[in-house]
Amino acid sequence: MKYFLVLYAFSLMFISCQTSSETKPLILDDYTWEDIQAGGQAQDMTMMMWKGDPKINVYMQEYIKPKLLKKHNINLTIVDGQGNYIVQMLMAELQADASTSEIDLMWINGETFYQLRQIDALFGPWTSELPNAYKIDFENPFIGKDFQQAIDGYEMPWGNVQMTLIYNHDKIKQPPQTRAELLSFVKEHPGKFTWDNHFTGLTFMKALLMDIAGGANVLKGEFNENLYAKYSDKLWVYLNQLKPYLWRQGEVFPENVAQMHQLFANGELLFTMSINDAEVDNKVEEGLFQKSSRAYVPEFGTIQNSHYLGISKLSEKKLTAMLVVNELISEENQLEKMKPSVWGDGTVLQVSKLDSVFQKKFNSIAQRNYAPPRKDIQQKALPELAPEYMIRLAEDFKKNLID
């Protein structure tokens, strides 16, 4: 990674030397949608996104890319990257006074959106210019706000998911529903439970924090240092009670959810987790999980959130990126993405705004076989906390559990 960043810094210097003029600000008031279409088509464009899931990669590479090429003559290149990597890359470009960005479009949410807004690395506002934007369910608080933040036209909702825990029904008849039950279960099954030390694991810990605080409303709104200190102290006490009985005695944690899935698949763990409530169906279909696998939401609830698409402030392909996003949020592409056999990503569209044909298609989409229907877990959905909570949890998890 360090080697790559050095090379990247040199490439930025090279770009800066070649370019004498800065990218002109794009004033969208001067553009009609027809202008955006005309200016955005027939271009090459780069999108950065997490590429850790085979089904998501297939959807983007084999379904979306050919459609963009055929319909708009847009050649989309998809590169791997997420979270802090995106923030560091765009910050390096800004600090180098680069005239263009290596990234045009990016898949982001939550703390990444917060950090990119802090360094003014996102283009916007732009989302209201898209013809398909009116179909988005912006009034839904799980979609219209990102980690308690107003999105203000700087990112477009793309998908909506809720976290679940996944277990094997043949091995566990009654999965734990409360923190107390989870502690008892872990003590009775030492070495069979853990969570990863990245996004999914942090999301799990946030749900525990809200439960300890007495509910989601206690921590609602902007970050509160006093409340965080009060309830996170109790969280570390609880997690340290679990620690001796965790996988590898809690001395290490899986690097990512893919590793957890593999440990679950080979029987080393009795639980894995997913930020996507429909993912268990994907993994059973892929043959990774057994057909006795089930997903559930414990009584203390799990976080539901949305993921978004942002455009780099220094992108020279902003019009092309807007064209691509308009396609990604179309009812046709949202429907395809929602199918459990494709991705299983929840839609961000307000289905009642669609025509009768698509309403019928969305309402009759193939049912999940191993995950509960969304309507059955919606009442246990917790809203995301302000991004500083995740940032602090990530820092303090290392200090209180790992070091």
Q: Which residue has the tokens 């602090």?
A: 392
Nearest to 55 by CA among 370, 293, 336, 311: 336
pLDDT digits (tens, 9 = 90+) for 255-265: 989 999 999 99
Percent of residues, the chain, with pLDDT higher than 70: 94
Alpha helices in 23-124 (DSSP H): 33-40, 54-58, 65-72, 83-95, 110-118
d(CA 193, CA 179): 13
> Does position 399 have pLDDT exceeding 80, yes or no?
yes
The total number of residues shown for the chain amounts to 403
**Which of 160, 146, 173, 374 minimizes the C-alpha distance to 281?**
374
Task: Answer whether 309's CB lies under 8 Å from 132's CB.
Answer: no
CB 211 within 8 A of CB 300: yes
Cα distances from 153 to residues 68, 125, 149, 362, in angstroms, run: 23, 4, 12, 26
pLDDT band at 170 (very low <50, low <70, confident <90, very high): very high
The alpha-helical segments, DSSP class H, found in 163-301 are: 179-188, 199-213, 225-242, 257-265, 279-286
How far, in Å, are 26, 55, 133 from residue 325 at the CA level? Answer: 17, 20, 10
Say how far apart CA 133 and CA 153 lie, in whole Å.
10
| Mean pLDDT, residues 267-291 | 95
Q: Which domains does the chain have, with CATH numbers?
A: 35-159+307-373 (3.40.190.10), 164-304+378-402 (3.40.190.10)
Closest of 288, 301, 382, 282 to residue 341, by C-alpha:
282
pLDDT number for residue 15:
38
**For residue 2, is pLDDT > 60?**
no
Give the whole-angstrom CA distance, residue 250 versus residue 194.
8
- Exposure class string for 307-346: b at 16+ Cβ within 10 A, else e: bbbbbbbbbbbbbbbbbbbbbbbbbebbbbbbebebbbbb
pLDDT digits (tens, 9 = 90+) for 361-397: 999 988 889 999 999 999 999 999 999 999 999 999 9
Between 1-5, 71-75, 93-97, 331-335, the lowest mean confidence (pLDDT) is in: 1-5
Quote the pTM value.
0.88
